[in-house]
């Protein structure tokens, strides 16, 4: 609020106070005139007095309305009996004030004889102060209320004027505690960003050789891989102002607002250069223009156009570095990805076993781990976990240990936390019939036996028939190595394992099978179809891909699925998928028939203990094999 606006508000409040006080002290709608005692007695004798109010040394006489009406009106203004705008209805009521002589004892008798109502009042001390107080206090209250309302209106107007201002938060280096020491498991990606930091600190080393640092760095990776963490670490290491904003903060329903916010953001950045701008989830504003059902989005496209101009337009800003993060680079506009804007794209992948161990060491610094906890072993047990998953895993283990009043976090706490993170909490309260438990035991035992007997399958870590989430039982397994390739033999072995639960149920219950294997069947069918139609792993169908993957029309893409093969080819594809499923189903059945004793022993142990780990599983197999040798 500026000075002129404040003066206007105070003047308005002052006018209101003057008007309110004038009304407060105007008094009642009456007219009082002083008459002599003789005139008063004559009026009493004539019967024109209705009542009197006697106080010390004086009285106030109120005449009867019928007799005094005309006379009282004339007392207002002799020249204008009704006054300006006055009428007989709203004219003030006349009163007479009379001084009473001392020692007049006949007055009361005279008033009583004429039926005049007598009221005796005692003067109250401080009545003027109380009158003034009762008049001023409401006025002050109303004045404060008006000031509050006017200031609220002023603030609302100011917010409306700031509607096009940037919502970016500027963080200084002293407020950012993260550094590259807090980033683990992504060494190569970190080295790329260390060069950016070095340029901000020692720019002359690069400029004297004619080198230009990338204006924009795009961090690409799955959720939880550490993109935002890396950006915070860069800000902490660089020691320059750091502007933080989300892509969704630019987009509004009004066209032009986003573009205004982009301009304001870069104007602020130019005042603090050298500096950095981090745009999280840039796909919210950087999607392809003019794509999708119904054309483009005017507001988002104008915002993107302004962002393109600011990053690489006529006005070059060499000391402003833009870092952005997204997990959907496929939908970003090509103009945004070209050199000069986002010159460098850094793919942040899921950490390998060594990276997971380093990340666990970072997040375990403030955790009190037990002596039985081995982070190297733990890293092998959680393939596919991102940095965020590992942080959450250790936090869940700490919560579980605290819930049990433990002195430290044990490996058992971590094991339970892994199950909780992957499959949800245990539902021991779920009431299951004996048949449900038995079916679930044989189903999970079928998976475990197939995993153990096939060389290309993963290693069994744990088998449980305790309900978790929507599953009545689960079999946990981990890869034997951190191989990045999925070979044909591994995929076929995985299909066989997925069918193991249904095969085990068929061996025990015949054709009275249940719906418990529905998810396994869906996954096996999808895997076989991808092998045939997408990965060229079918000898009959050849080294070709058939059809194009679906694209989401509302994600910045046009209509996707294109059927580039005939109906005859579709028929052959279906036949080949069915052949793979049937062959692997027969293989799973043959394995379980040959190892029926292991299947039964494992199922009975699950019914008894509800959960079996890898060591106990190996012991059961060795016991059955020993029994075979003795038979």
Residues identified as active-site: 444
Contact 91, 83 (CB under 8 A): yes
Contact 464, 420 (CB under 8 A): no
Q: Return the SS3 of 359.
A: helix
Strands 459-464 and 611-613, by their bridges, are: antiparallel
| Distance from C-alpha of 222 to C-alpha of 629, rounded to nearest angstrom | 51
The Cβ of residue 74 has, within 10 Å, a number of other Cβ atoms equal to 14
Give, in order, the Cα–Cα distances in Å from 249 to each of 217, 246, 303, 361, 366.
Answer: 20, 5, 11, 35, 34
- Tokens, residue 361: 């060491």
Strand order in the sheet with 242-246: 169-171, 242-246, 275-280, 320-326, 216-221, 344-348
Q: Give which of 20, 117, 100 is closest to 56, Cα–Cα.
A: 100
| Distance from C-alpha of 236 to C-alpha of 35, rounded to nearest angstrom | 92
Contact 482, 382 (CB under 8 A): no
What are the b/e assignments for 477-489, b being 16+ CB within 10 Å?
Answer: bbeeeeeeeeeee
Q: Which own/partner contact pairs does 158-167 have at CB distance under 8 Å and 24+ positions apart?
A: 158/1, 163/252, 163/254, 163/257, 164/256, 164/257, 164/260, 164/261, 164/264, 165/260, 165/261, 165/264, 166/245, 166/249, 166/261, 166/262, 166/264, 166/265, 166/268, 167/245, 167/249, 167/261
Strand order in the sheet with 58-63: 30-34, 93-99, 58-63, 49-55, 117-120
Contact 36, 150 (CB under 8 A): no
Q: Which own/partner contact pairs does 263-272 have at CB distance under 8 Å and 24+ positions apart?
A: 263/306, 263/310, 264/164, 264/165, 264/166, 265/166, 265/168, 266/310, 266/317, 266/320, 268/166, 268/168, 268/170, 268/243, 269/241, 269/243, 269/317, 269/320, 270/317, 270/320, 272/170, 272/240, 272/241
The 3-state secondary structure of 63-130, one letter per residue: ECHHHHHHHHHHHHCCCCCCCCCCCCCCCCEEEEEEECCCCCCCHHHHHHHCCCEEEECCCCCCHHHH
Sign, CA torsion 431/436/438/441 = negative
| Distance from C-alpha of 544 to C-alpha of 538, rounded to nearest angstrom | 9
| Distance from C-alpha of 453 to C-alpha of 587, rounded to nearest angstrom | 11
| Distance from C-alpha of 606 to C-alpha of 442, rounded to nearest angstrom | 9
């Amino acid at each position: 609020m500026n000075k002129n606006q404040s003066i206007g508000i105070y003047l308005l409040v002052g006018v209101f106070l003057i008007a309110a006080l004038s009304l407060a002290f105007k008094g009642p709608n009456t007219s009082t005139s002083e008459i002599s005692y003789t005139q008063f007695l004559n009026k009493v004798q004539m019967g024109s007095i209705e009542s009197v109010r006697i106080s010390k040394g004086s009285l106030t006489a109120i005449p009867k309305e019928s007799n005094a009406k005309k006379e009282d009106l004339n007392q207002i203004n002799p020249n204008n009996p009704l006054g300006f705008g006055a009428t007989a209805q709203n004219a003030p009521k006349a009163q007479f004030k009379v001084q009473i002589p001392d020692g007049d004892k006949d007055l009361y008798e005279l008033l009583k004889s004429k039926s005049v109502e007598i009221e005796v009042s005692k003067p109250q001390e401080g009545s003027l102060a109380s009158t003034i107080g009762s008049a001023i206090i409401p006025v002050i209250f109303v004045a404060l209320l008006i000031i509050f309302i006017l200031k609220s209106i002023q603030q609302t107007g100011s917010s409306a004027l700031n509607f096009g201002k940037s919502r970016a938060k500027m963080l200084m280096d002293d407020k950012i505690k993260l550094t590259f020491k807090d980033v683990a498991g992504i060494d190569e990606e970190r080295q790329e960003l260390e060069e950016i930091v070095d340029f901000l600190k020692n720019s002359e080393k690069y400029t004297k050789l004619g080198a230009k640092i990338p204006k924009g760095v795009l961090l690409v990776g799955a959720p939880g891989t550490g993109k935002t963490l890396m950006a915070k670490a860069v800000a902490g290491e660089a020691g320059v102002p750091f502007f933080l904003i989300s892509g969704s903060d630019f987009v509004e329903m009004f066209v032009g607002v986003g573009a205004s916010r982009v301009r304001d953001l870069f104007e602020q950045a130019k005042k603090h250069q050298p500096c950095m701008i981090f745009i999280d989830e840039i796909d919210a504003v950087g999607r392809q223009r003019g794509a999708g059902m119904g054309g483009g989005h005017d507001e988002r496209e104008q915002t993107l156009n302004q962002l393109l101009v600011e990053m690489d337009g006529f006005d070059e800003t060499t000391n402003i570095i833009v870092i952005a993060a997204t997990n959907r680079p496929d939908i970003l506009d090509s103009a945004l990805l070209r050199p000069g804007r986002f010159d460098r794209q850094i793919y942040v992948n899921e950490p390998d076993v060594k990276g997971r161990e380093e990340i666990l060491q970072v997040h375990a610094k403030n955790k009190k781990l037990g002596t039985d906890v081995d982070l190297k072993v733990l890293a092998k047990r959680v393939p596919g976990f991102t940095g965020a998953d590992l942080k959450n895993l250790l936090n869940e283990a700490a919560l579980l240990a605290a819930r049990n009043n433990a002195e430290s976090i044990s490996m058992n706490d971590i094991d339970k936390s892994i199950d909780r993170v992957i499959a949800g909490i245990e539902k021991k309260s779920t009431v299951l019939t004996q048949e449900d438990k038995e079916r679930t035991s044989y189903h999970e035992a079928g998976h475990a036996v197939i995993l153990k007997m096939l060389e290309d399958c993963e290693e069994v870590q744990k088998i449980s028939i305790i309900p978790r989430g929507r599953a009545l039982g689960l079999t946990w397994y981990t890869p034997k190595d951190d191989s990045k390739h999925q070979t044909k033999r591994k995929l076929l072995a995985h299909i066989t394992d997925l069918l193991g639960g249904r095969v085990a149920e068929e061996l025990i219950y015949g054709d009275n099978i249940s719906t418990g294997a529905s998810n396994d069947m869906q996954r096996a069918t999808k895997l076989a179809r991808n092998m045939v139609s997408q990965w060229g792993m079918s000898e009959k169908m050849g080294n070709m891909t058939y059809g194009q993957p679906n694209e989401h029309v509302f994600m910045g893409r046009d209509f996707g699925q294109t059927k580039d093969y005939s109906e005859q080819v579709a028929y052959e594809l279906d036949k080949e998928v069915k052949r793979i499923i049937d062959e692997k189903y027969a293989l799973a059945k043959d394995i379980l028939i040959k190892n029926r004793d292991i299947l039964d022993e494992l199922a009975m142990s699950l019914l008894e203990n509800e959960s079996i780990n890898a060591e106990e599983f190996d012991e059961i197999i060795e016991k059955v094999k020993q029994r075979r040798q003795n038979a």
